[in-house]
Amino acid sequence: MSALAPTLEAFFTERLINQKRASAHTITAYRDTFRLLLGFVQRRTGKAPSELGFEDVDATLIGAFLEHLEHERHNSVRTRNSRLAAIHSMFRFAALLHPEHAAVIGRVLAIPTKRADRTDVSFLDHEEIDVLLAAPDHTRWIGRRDHALLATAVQTGLRVSELTGLCCADVNLGKGRHVRCSGKGRKERCTPLTAQTASILRVWLQEGGHEPACRVLVGDKSVAIRRPTDGPEKEKYGRTLAEVSVGPVSVNEALVRDGAAEWYEQFANEDADLARRLRTAEDEARSEGRGLWSACSTNKSSAPTRSPAPTTTGMTPPLPPQKAGPAGGNCLPAYPDDCLPPAPPDLNCGSLRRAVRVDRRFGDPHGLDANSDGWGCESYR
């Protein structure tokens, strides 16, 4: 075994956990960084991680890894810099243990971070805040909950994780009214409350009959928001990708199972177990014709079946019937497993985001099967 493997292990067990008492989120992010790095190095050098030495992970290879993150994995500059920060941290730790590799380590530590564009942070004016607070339906329980959540968020500036983590014992509505929470970086924050916000919370707490240990805004269930650590942070329209869980229930999986959302296969590498559950949930929604799939004849009991091809030589096999598509249209028979309508609009792999089986007897109206092998959008397989 080379010196790199025990040093990397000591970095996690001694440096991060015992000496720095790093949070679970930091340890997870660092773990994912080195999982990606070791996999990249193994593909480049053909060496197993246990056989790698410091001379194998030099500045040239680290630079290639960072280029791989940006151009092949399509990570943002900020993600690239976060990965580099994790690598720098480990190599600074290794410099004290292995001075014989000081030259290699020094060149890695000299790799600079890349400048990233800063997004202007916008804010709501008073009129916009009033419109936002007036949006929830106060005649419904969930509307009153949302109103309390929004009012508290606007007045205190707490993060979403801090809001959902508030317990009744963290709220003081008496003299010196305030909310107390442990936020990012394990920093304890104490934020004063205005009389109006305190009144809204007081009514909400009285309505719910909350116990001191219960969550203020989400009842007695914990809410977890998990962002990708291996895949992209945002999809092509700039929306954040995350899995939301309320207690043991995955909201993402529940939405897909009810037919209110569709699973995108290109994010499957992020969490194999989640991908399997989402695919199963979508198959169930499709077979039962729920939500998005109710317009298409995807129910197994009513879906048209394809007649078997005759065995007589020279006869043209019968064509399967078209399926009823969304909004009263027709599904193209060229795509027997998916209800794809005729153009316009012209669909492409970027909009479908999944592999599509193509029946070449009907051509390929949307041009998805580039190599004419019966499968379109094969990069998503």
Specify the range with the lowest mean pLDDT, choosing from 33-47, 135-149, 241-255, 307-321.
307-321
**Structure token pair of residue 285:** 């929604």
**Residue percentage of the chain with pLDDT more than 90:** 24
Residues 226 and 245: beta-carbon distance below 8 Å: yes
pLDDT for 164? 78
In angstroms, how far is CA 261 from the centroid of its own chain?
14
The average pLDDT across 82-111 equals 94
Beta bridge partners of residue 14, listed in sequence order: none
The average pLDDT across 297-304 equals 40
Is the pTM value of this prediction over 0.75? Answer: no
Which backbone phi and psi does 251 adopt, to 5 degrees?
Answer: -65, -40
By C-alpha distance, which of 32, 113, 25, 107 is closest to 73? 32
Q: What digits encode the pLDDT tens for the residues 254-299?
A: 888 888 888 876 666 666 777 888 888 888 888 888 887 876 544 4
pLDDT for 228? 61
Specify the range with the lowest mean pLDDT, choosing from 47-61, 176-190, 191-205, 298-312.
298-312
375-376 and 356-357 beta bridge pairing: antiparallel
**162, pLDDT greater than 50:** yes
Residues 277 and 310: beta-carbon distance below 8 Å: no
pLDDT for 217? 65
